[in-house]
Amino acid sequence: MEKEELSSLQLDALREVGNIGAGHAATALSGLLNRPVDMAVPEARLVPIFDLAELYGAAESLICAVLIRAEGDFSCNLVFMMEEDKSQELADLLVGSFCCDDEEMLYQLRDSALSEVGNIVLGAFVNSLSAFTGFSLPVSVPAIAHDMLGALLDVVVAIYGISGDMALMVQTSLSVKGLDGELSGQILMVPDPGKLPILLGKLGVL
Amino acid sequence: MKPQAVHVGMAELAALRHPALLVTLGLGSCIGLVLYDEGSRIAGLVHIMLPDSRQSKSETKPGKFADTALPALLDELSKLGATRSRLKAKMAGGAQMFNLPGSGQGLLAVGNRNIEATTALLAKLKIPLVASDTGGNKGRSIEFSTDNWVLTVKTLGKGVQML
């Protein structure tokens, strides 16, 4: 981001991007799980990069995160993250009935199912962004990580840090009734340095 | 008496006299760099985010970039009375948390560039790097105690290492 400030009109437009993207992501997740999925009102705001991680929780809390990269007209990284124990409940929902003696294989199967959830959710988000803007946005395969929140968000903070000390937080959360309470996950859209004006221009709010 | 832990957040730095316990939680691509002088019993920790301040356009915290973090930390250490020629370094961090195919060069590989930049700066300043645990794809929490000058590194699934 070149600018350390965005107008409320620009933030509204970005919130709408989050809204449409998350709507599609929720529909896709609902189809995959065959359960209703709710979405929270999306947020778009600027926060100091040094405070970003703690807005999501304690630095050492365990998180499962899936990242995909969109290249093309508007390059960005997209992250879908959920609490580690919630991600394991989600894996139970998807492949819990699958029995196997080989623990390593079972672990890989669960991880692969979670990667696919991230892929479907973030893919739906990107597709709607592409349809909405006319941008061509080919995406990478998903990368999954299970680790401490602070460590996982370091790279997001570093990407924003290249061009300034503020981060644009476009985030939405999805929740689904799980086996045990509610499962919720968050979507973050992280434009590459210098690329945000391309999106704002296309949205007519540059 | 056990000293209270001083938490060093992103782009921050702290230099303290013995007894001190310096802590950083949840390092991913960032680097936790410790410089210490056992003779004067002084240690400092800086939490580096990015390799090079020349890419930055605005004023910011000196701890953010490797090339501004080292001089700033040296400054704080010498203010406390540390002797430059006795300083040693230990560091941890610089992981690549998300491994996409072909992402070894791009934005996601900032951890590697942080390691390279910090190591090169230490060599240039002739500060010996006596121990390090860097790279890989797991996050780390670290603490450094002036009781034994040991850097303790906790990694998920890998346990605790004493460096």
Domain range summary for chain A, segments of one domain joined by +: 8-201
Q: Report the residue of chain B nearest A148, measured CA to CA.
A: B26
- Which whole-number Å values give the CA distances from A56 to A27, A52, A85, B36, in the listed order? 24, 7, 16, 33
Q: Which two tokens stand for residue A70?
A: 């969109």
Range A78-96 average pLDDT: 91
Structurally, chain B folds into a number of domains equal to 1
The interface predicted TM-score of the complex, written ipTM, equals 0.92
Q: Which residues of A touch B112 (CB under 8 A)?
A: none
pLDDT at A2 (0 to 100): 46
* Closest by Cα among B51, B26, B98, B46 to A190: B98
Q: What are phi and psi of A71, to 5 degrees?
A: -105, -165
Topology of domain A8-201, CATH: Chemotaxis protein chec (3.40.1550)
Q: How far off is chain A from B10, nearest CA to CA, in Å?
A: 6
Q: Which residues of B touch A68 (CB under 8 A)?
A: 100
Interface test with A, best of B56, B57, B98, B114 (most A CBs within 10 A): B98
- Which whole-number Å values give the CA distances from A140 to A108, A118, A169, B150, B159, in the listed order? 20, 12, 22, 41, 32
* Residues forming beta bridges with residue B31, ordered by sequence position: B48, B93
- Nearest Cβ partner for B60 among A147, A157, A165: A165
pLDDT tens across A133-146, in order? Answer: 999 999 999 999 99
Check CB contact under 8 Å for B110 and A145.
no
Residue A156 sits at the chain B interface (C-beta within 8 Å): no
- Per-residue three-class SS string for A98-134: CCCCCHHHHHHHHHHHHHHHHHHHHHHHHHHHHHHHC
Rg (CA), chain B: 15
* Closest by Cα among B51, B25, B146 to B90: B146
Which chain A residues in 73-92 lie under 8 Å from chain B, judged by CB atoms? Answer: 77
Check CB contact under 8 Å for B58 and A162.
no
* Closest by Cα among B95, B105, B100, B137 to A68: B100
Q: Which two tokens stand for residue A13?
A: 């437009």
* Residues forming beta bridges with residue B21, ordered by sequence position: B5, B145
How confident is residue A116, by pLDDT bands cut at 50, 70 and 90? very high
Range A151-168 average pLDDT: 90
Check CB contact under 8 Å for A77 and B111.
no
Q: Which two tokens stand for residue A62?
A: 């365990």
DSSP code, position A41 = P
User: What is the span of the domain harbouring residue B35?
Assistant: 5-162
- Which whole-number Å values give the CA distances from B63 to A120, B11, B107, in the listed order? 38, 4, 20
Q: Report the residue of chain B nearest A49, measured CA to CA.
A: B10
Q: How far off is chain B from A95, nearest CA to CA, in Å?
A: 23
Residue A115 sits at the chain B interface (C-beta within 8 Å): no
| DSSP H or E segment with residue A19 | helix A8-33
Instruction: Just list the catalytic residues of B.
Output: 30
CATH number, domain of B33, equals 3.30.1330.200
Q: How far off is chain A from B109, nearest CA to CA, in Å?
A: 8
Q: Report the residue of chain B nearest A193, measured CA to CA.
A: B107
Task: For chain B, 163 residues long, give each residue's pLDDT as a single digit of tens.
Answer: 678 899 999 999 999 999 999 999 999 999 999 999 999 999 999 999 999 998 777 778 999 999 999 999 999 999 999 999 999 999 999 999 998 887 777 888 999 999 999 999 999 999 999 999 999 999 999 999 999 999 999 998 889 999 9
Q: How many CB pairs under 8 A join A and B?
A: 114
pLDDT of A1 > 50? The answer is no
The answer to whether A78 touches A189, Cβ cutoff 8 Å, is yes
Q: Which residues, in sequence order, are CB contacts of A44 under 8 Å at separation 6+?
A: A11, A12, A14, A15, A17, A18, A168, A169, A170
* Residues forming beta bridges with residue B162, ordered by sequence position: B152
Q: Which residues of A touch B29 (CB under 8 A)?
A: 154-155, 158
Q: How far off is chain A from B21, nearest CA to CA, in Å?
A: 18
For residues B138 and B117, give the distance between their C-alpha atoms in angstroms, rounded to a whole number.
Answer: 20
Q: Which two tokens stand for residue B102?
A: 């072909």
Residue with the larger pLDDT of the pair A41 and B58: A41
Q: Which residues of A touch B111 (CB under 8 A)?
A: 154-155
Q: How many Cα atoms sit within 13 Å of B66 on the Cβ side?
A: 28
